[in-house]
Structure formats: C-alpha cells, structure tokens
Chain A
Amino acid sequence: MFVNWALQELNLKIVYYGPGLSGKTTNLEFIYNNIDPSLRGDLITLKTREERTLYFDFLQLEIGRIKGMKPKFNLYTIPGQVYYAYSRKIILRGVDGIVFVADSQADRMAENLDSLMDLERNLIEDGLSLQKFPWVLQYNKRDLPRCLPISEMNAKLNFSKVPVVEAAAAKGVGVLETLKAAIYGVVGQVQKVI
C-alpha cells in the first residue's frame, strides 16, 4: 500500500495468480474493455511471441473519490508457466491482495494445486501466508465441459475459506465480481492493520 497525501492517492496492488492458461490475462482484458477509459490507464502486456505472458500484465484503475482520497488499484498478472518462478516472486513484492484464478477443468486440478503451493511458498518467503492474507478464488472456465463440481474445487483449493466467484472470463462472467471481492478483501485487511 502506498499513500501519497499530497495527491490524496491510495495505491493498492492486486495480483492475479494461477496456473498457465487459467485466464488471468483474460480477466484484465475484460476489465480494460469494460471500464470508462477516463478511469483506467493502458493495458501493458509483456508477452512471448506465442502470446503467452512473459513477465506480467499491468492495468491501473481509479475508482472515484472517497472521503477525499482517490483509490488507485494496480492490477498485475503473473506468468503462469512453471519456469517463470523468479518473475512471479518479483511481481508479488508489495502485493496487497491476490486473485487466484483456478481452471475448473478436471484435468487441470494438479496445475491449480501446484500454482497455489508455489504462491504459498512465495508468500512465506515474504513473511506472509495464505491463512492471513486477503485473497479470493475465481473458479474460471465454468462454461467448458468436464468442469469439476464446486464442492470438489472447494475441498481441494479453498482451505482458507476465502470468497469464491464462479466465472467464465472469456465471456466476462464473474470477472468484475471477482475484482470487487478482491478489493473488499484488501480494504478489510488494511482496516484491520491500522
């Protein structure tokens, strides 16, 4: 969190985490395309030639003015592929809240779990833990066949009993609800620590 009193700005960092191809960039693209352009910056994407996220995607949102302050949310995605472990660690620095984008397809559960464990390891290195940190789960790709039932997704991934949003990000379903849940989590946590 960064507060700039002179500009009356409250800056918060939210990171979209999850395995490769789970839909993290798709979430940001939908937000970018569905917000008043005066309230957002450019969507910065650092991609490989194969259109996969190489380093991160970045989008800044402003949400009005509240009690004299301008909240600014800096949204980042991480590269989901396993071999970009160091990039993920770097992007997590200074994070205030996390959206974990899980792929609901049955054959992707192992990748979801690997990514969640990777996230927990990185948080622990930074003196944090999923048990004590504001994060939300997005069960993405609910519109595809062979999705696991929500109860099974919860049993495997939601050990912290965090908010869950069902989504089909490519169609925009659940994307804004996820962001709102994440923002609530971050603001709630900030209120707890001050």
Chain B
Amino acid sequence: MELAKRREQPQIMLSTEVYNQVSEVLRDLVASTRADFSIFCDANGHPITHAGKAAQVNLSALTALVAGDFAATTEIARLIGERDGFKFLFQEGENRNIYLCNVGFNFLLAVIFEKAVALGLIRIFANKTVDRLRQILEKAAQAENKASEFLDVEFGALLGKEFDRTFKL
C-alpha cells in the first residue's frame, strides 16, 4: 500500500455525483460574478471541471501551470515565514485577470475575469465557493474507492496494446 500511505498526495477519486455538485457550484460562481470562466483542478494540475466560456483555452496546460504557480508561491511564502502559504494569488493583465486559491489541501480553484469585474466581488464569491466545495469534498472523502473495478491485470495488458497501436510500435 505504498502509494496510499503517501503523506501529501493520496489517490483521489471523484464520483459522478460529486463532479456534478462541483460543476454546479462553479456555474453559480460564474453567474454571480460574471467572470469569464472558473476552473477546478487538483493540486497536481489535473483539470476536473469548469464553468463559463473556456472553449478557446487549453485547460490541461492552464491547470498544470496554475498548480505549478501555486506550489512555487507556497514555497516562497514559507521562505519569508508564512508557514501556511498565501491565501490567494491574483495576477492582473491588461484585459483579463486571474484569481487562484486553494480548496483544502488537494484542490485549487481559478477564476478568470475581465477587468470590468471588481476583484472584491470575485474574492467574496470565491470564498463562498471554497466553503461550498470543501463541504462537498469532505463528504466525498468518505466515498468508496472503486479503482479496483477497472485497474486489474487485464487493464494493464489492454493499455500496452493500445500504447503500441497509438505509437505504431
């Protein structure tokens, strides 16, 4: 059980029910703030779900960079004596801004919004959103681990075949 014992990043399973609840919370956030879009990812940078107008955005790349940015800034915080890291990150652009905050230890929330939207509004609604998400995720943490339903020896063999087909090996 070596991986399961890991201190910082356990295996994370997200059920369809939790996914739908999280998606709804994100839709509420975008509707309340008129942000362009909002995205929820895990602290390793895997995108989970988003709401709003994100069709033109490479979300996998965005969340990989967001997670790296957040992790790096947390280390910066520690170096200057802020043990628990910064509460949020805010980057201001000419037309668009991004607001990042963590949701518990394992997840991150990013909100992308135009300059016309007030940062204070984003902060208030992002804080409310984080509270709602934490409640959902705390319940989800007790959910059953179902990875054994598909990750068996057959899965490994099929993956090998699919890999060879993909790369024409």
Binding site for B on A (CB under 8 A): 1-7, 10-11, 13, 34-36, 39, 41-42, 44, 55-56, 58, 60, 63-64, 66-69, 71-72, 74, 76, 86-87, 89-91, 93-94, 96, 126-128, 132-133, 176-177, 180, 183-184, 187-194
Contact = CB atoms under 8 A, between A and B. Distances in A.
Interface stretch (B30-38, B112-120, B122-130, B143-151): B143-151
Interface of B: 1-9, 11-16, 19-20, 42-46, 48-49, 58, 60-61, 64-65, 68, 71-72, 75, 145-148, 150-156, 158-160, 162-167, 169
27 contacts: A1-B3, A2-B48, A3-B11, A3-B14, A3-B147, A4-B19, A5-B15, A6-B14, A6-B16, A34-B167, A35-B166, A39-B166, A44-B65, A55-B68, A63-B166, A66-B150, A67-B158, A69-B155, A74-B44, A90-B75, A126-B7, A127-B8, A177-B169, A189-B2, A189-B3, A191-B151, A191-B156
A35 B68 contact: no
B66 to A, nearest CB: 12
A194 B166 contact: no
Contacts of B163: 63, 180, 183
A87 B16 contact: no
Contact of A66 (B43, B68, B158): B158
Contacts of B155: 66-67, 69, 187, 191
Contact of A194 (B68, B147, B162): B147
Given A6-B20, A74-B64, A93-B44, A180 B165 contact: no
B61 A44 contact: yes
Given A44-B64, A74-B64, A193-B3, A94 B8 contact: yes
B162 A66 contact: yes
Nearest to A96: B3
Nearest to B2: A132
